[in-house]
Amino acid sequence: MTTRTIQHGSTEHRIWQVLLYGGIAAVVLAIALTQPDYRMAQFSAVAAWSVALLGMNLIIGYGGQMALGHSAFFGFGSYLTAILYADYGVSFVGTLPISALAGAAIGFLLGLPALRISGLYLALVTLALALAFPAIAKMDQLSALTGGANGKLAYIQWLPPTWLPFTVTSAAWVFLTLSAFAAVLFLLASNAMRSRVGRAVVALRDNQIGAAVSGVHPATWKTSTFAVSAAYASLAGSLMMLAVPIVTPDSGGFLVAVTLITGMVIGGAGTISGAVIGGVAVVWLPELSKHWAGALPLVSESDGTALSTAVYGAVLILVVFVMPGGVVTFVRRLRARFVVVVPQVPATSPPVAHAAPLSPTPELEMERP
Amino acid sequence: MDMALLAVDDVTVRFGGIVALSDLSFEVERGQICGLIGPNGAGKTTLFNCVSRVYQPTSGSIFFDGEDLLSVPAWRTAAKGIARTFQNLALFPTMTVAENVMVGAHAASRQNWLTAALRLRTHREDDQLRSQAWELLTYLGLQDIAFRPCAGLPFGTLKRVEIARALAARPRLLLLDEPASGLTHAEVAELADTLRAIRSDFDLTILLVEHHMQMVMGLSDNVVVLDFGKKIADGTPALVREDPAVVEAYLGSGVA
């Protein structure tokens, strides 16, 4: 088996990229044209979840900050869009920038105390946020806005426009819209992570002192990462209102927080595309587990349903052991056997080298940590 | 222009009851290579941490190019023109060697969340940073590992990567903390040549902490000797080598 080397930015690389993204677009379109409405709601949910998972990935995967309570931002975004749309007559698209900015502002404020704590302590504090969210949403003082324990309904009118060259159901149009929003948000995040911004964020995660003496201001970059990731989670909540017309206090609660963590770990922390895989897993893994549990030998149909969460847990354990680093890391490692993409060497005339090239010795481990 | 580039004035650092540096004063002239030596625990790295603003001295002052350095936070030192390496490395293990060097130029670049996400004029800046990193890596003979992640590379190589990262900031003062540790004998000689070349090619002043005596003495214009946080000698290598206090600090006074 030979590995193929492709230069980054070469024609061959471009062709593969076009094929990949074109393929994804074709799959999305095929889903919209062929799938029944009840499935379409699930696909729409995947698009919304993946945006939230991307937000989690920015702060945890890239930033290394254990902010586990992003369900609170997710729930916040849903409520904000539901309230603005249903009570204040703001259009759905109009609620999105408001949701992003409000999420970013709250994320920034919460990012300030997060500068002083890290690791397990930050995990605990942010999880507390997820625990507090349902209680706050249920408060009597807010029930006029939030609908109290019953949650808030907002049926958003979203019909396919007449200029579409093909006919789709309105559920399919919702799916296409959410996919388009998600694609734009993924592109923006990917651009940022490939730039000076991403390098600063990852440098802070890898070695804060090394980053600081290189000129990376820890407070600026950590709080801004917090703000951006919260904006993504809040936007995801807003987008979800298009797929599921109701938001309840538990939409921002502990279970959703755990769901988000699960999705991030399965997809692959610190990867952009892992968020999509995570979204797929979050939506279908529980359902598939139920199906698999029912198919287990020696158990009756009803026992199978009861065992579905156990199967779900077993699948999670299996993923963590077989694919440490998530599905995306696993696939990348697999791909590296067949094809390697090498970065392009910048076209410059380097000055005379004063030292002979060091021969890399990968077998040697670092002498010190 | 007579003013020294770096002036350390009466600096004392206390950690609880331990005095790590006591009333330390010395100057580093422009264009010099100044060696900072002393037995383990003498306070060399503590001084580095004060100059790069990781530590705040208990008392005293440090001036860089006439400016009070103690009011400058650590993350601003790169922009001021000070870069450093670390005794035990402070690289970014998950990033490639080239990306590590690009982070070194962080203070000199401008992209933020908005411009980077929307790719507003970021392409040019990133291309520039990339080719600058490539030039530095080629200069230091690291081009073959440019796109490898730092994790897993040998210690001696990574020490060199840190020098490349420090140079990416285009500093005026370079602080090197034991650059020769983990190198073989032949590599040490090569490193000395590299440091000499760096000084003239990048127009640098270098403050060097090193245990490899032969290298320090051969390379430095001036040597400052510390022992238990105090300066015990300061002068040319030839002068310092003969100093009885230095001999005693290194060999002990058991003879008498």
Closest to A191 (Cβ–Cβ): which among B117, B144, B157?
Answer: B117
Distance, CA of A329 to CA of A66 (rounded, Å): 20
pLDDT in tens, B142-169: 999 999 999 999 998 999 999 999 999 9
**Quick one: pLDDT at residue B182?**
81
Strand-pairing partners, residue B34, are: B207, B222
Work out the number of other CB atoms within 10 angstroms of the CB of residue A149.
Answer: 12
Cβ distance A147 to A263 under 8 Å? no
**Residues in CB range of A305: below 8 A, 6 or more apart:** A290, A293, A294
Q: Which of A243, A204, A269 is nearest to A57 (CA)?
A: A269
Phi, then psi, of B22 in degrees rounded to 5: -130, 115
Structure tokens at B178: 């034991």
Cβ neighbourhood burial of B189 (10 Å; 0-12, 13-18, 19+): middle
Cβ distance A277 to A328 under 8 Å? yes
Chain B residues near residue A214 by CB distance under 8 angstroms? 78, 83, 103-104, 106-107, 165, 169
Whether B193 sits inside 8 A of A355 (CB atoms) is yes
pLDDT in tens, B72-128: 999 999 999 999 999 999 999 999 999 999 999 999 999 999 999 999 877 788 889
pLDDT in tens, B229-245: 999 999 999 999 889 98
What is the complex's ipTM, to 2 decimals?
0.93
CB proximity B19 to A under 8 Å: no
Whether B106 sits inside 8 A of A215 (CB atoms) is yes
Domain range A4-342, CATH architecture = Orthogonal Bundle (1.10)
Which chain B residue has its CA at the smallest distance from A199's CA? Answer: B103
The DSSP code sequence of A240-264 is: HHHHSSEE-GGGGSHHHHHHHHHHH
pLDDT in tens, A297-328: 766 666 666 778 888 888 889 988 999 899 99
CB proximity B54 to A under 8 Å: yes
Closest to B107 (Cβ–Cβ): which among A215, A348, A364?
Answer: A215
Q: What is the mean pLDDT of chain B?
A: 92
Task: Give the class (CATH, top level) of B1-81+171-256.
Answer: alpha beta
Cβ distance B210 to B37 under 8 Å? yes
Distance (Å) from the alpha carbon of B171 to chain A's nearest alpha carbon = 11
Whether A196 sits inside 8 A of B102 (CB atoms) is yes
Q: With b meaning 16 or more CB within 10 Å and e meaning fewer, what string describes A124-147? A: ebbbebbeebbebbbeeeeeeebb
Whether A354 sits inside 8 A of B139 (CB atoms) is yes
Is a pLDDT exceeding 70 seen at residue A184? yes
Domain edges within chain B: 1-81+171-256, 93-168
Is a pLDDT exceeding 60 seen at residue A35? yes
Distance, CA of A196 to CA of B175 (rounded, Å): 24
